[in-house]
Amino acid sequence: MSALLKISNITQTFSENGRHLTVLHDISMEVKQGEFLMILGPSGSGKSTLLRIMAGLMAPTSGKIITAPDTTHSFIFQSFALFPWLSVADNVGFGLKMQQRPEHEIKKIVAEEIARMGLEGFEKSFPRELSGGMKQRVGIARALAMKPSIIFLDEPFSALDSFTATKLRADLLKIWQEQNITLVMVTHLIDEAIQLGDRIAVLSNRPARIEHIFHNPISRPRDTRAEKFFELYDTINKVIKI
């Protein structure tokens, strides 16, 4: 697989009132076309900061970000980040509207993504009328509507109950397999990383560095109760505790 994105020697330091806090230190890795890359680490280790830098939402203090030509991306937030004054349909089509795409094209794409995410009948609803799971479905539909090369996901299921999160993970895997897109997702859950990821980049505590990048050998669909699953869980857990 060819690389869609490479980061090289990324360091991020925040400064306030003369104090300096280094969150990321000398991180290098690549995102391969078509893969599902998980970024795993303890809470507060700088995972979300790294994801935002990779997505171009934040400039690093030092280091380089190189993307392949014509690479586009979307971002799915943990907090849903929907516009409360817009309906479901208008939230899904927001990025397309900003690109000034033809109205008939916007309506077609929005209808497709709403159907894909099981949101039919909620087109005119507003975010305040939706459950957390439904809000995140809107967020995913909005990201997919842009037809991106890469989708970045910042702990998209952490605010959801266990049942809803399990269902959305399965839906996300299905979409990834059907559409041949590239996904980069942050999590602090080892089992989630193993269930979803082709590769798992494990970060250390702050200032974060890459402790190890695991290639997931478990074939899909993955049985979370299988012996190989628990073996990989234990191996990763030992690295995280460094």
pLDDT at position 173: 94
In this prediction, residue 241 has a pLDDT band, given cuts at 50, 70 and 90, of low
- Each residue's pLDDT tens digit, 59-111: 999 999 999 999 999 999 888 889 999 999 999 999 999 999 999 999 999 99
- Each residue's pLDDT tens digit, 45-63: 889 999 999 999 999 999 9
In this prediction, residue 205 has a pLDDT band, given cuts at 50, 70 and 90, of confident
Q: Which residues pair with 182 in a beta bridge?
A: 150
- Residues 35 and 136: their CA atoms lie apart, in Å, by 22
Other Cβ atoms less than 10 A from the Cβ of 185: the count is 24
Is 43 in contact with 149 (CB distance < 8 Å)? no
pLDDT exceeding 70 applies to what percent of the chain?
99
- Each residue's pLDDT tens digit, 171-194: 999 999 998 899 999 999 999 999
Quick check: 199 pLDDT over 70? Answer: yes
Quick check: 221 pLDDT over 60? Answer: yes
Task: Pick the closest to residue 237 from 200, 186, 182, 185 (CA basis).
Answer: 200
- Residue corresponding to tokens 């009132």: 17
- Residues 83 and 98: their CA atoms lie apart, in Å, by 14
Q: Is the pTM of this model over 0.85?
A: yes
In this prediction, residue 1 has a pLDDT band, given cuts at 50, 70 and 90, of low
- Residues 122 and 116: their CA atoms lie apart, in Å, by 13
Is 125 in contact with 139 (CB distance < 8 Å)? no
pLDDT exceeding 90 applies to what percent of the chain?
84
- Residues 24 and 210: their CA atoms lie apart, in Å, by 9
Task: Pick the closest to residue 39 from 217, 202, 235, 211 (CA basis).
Answer: 202
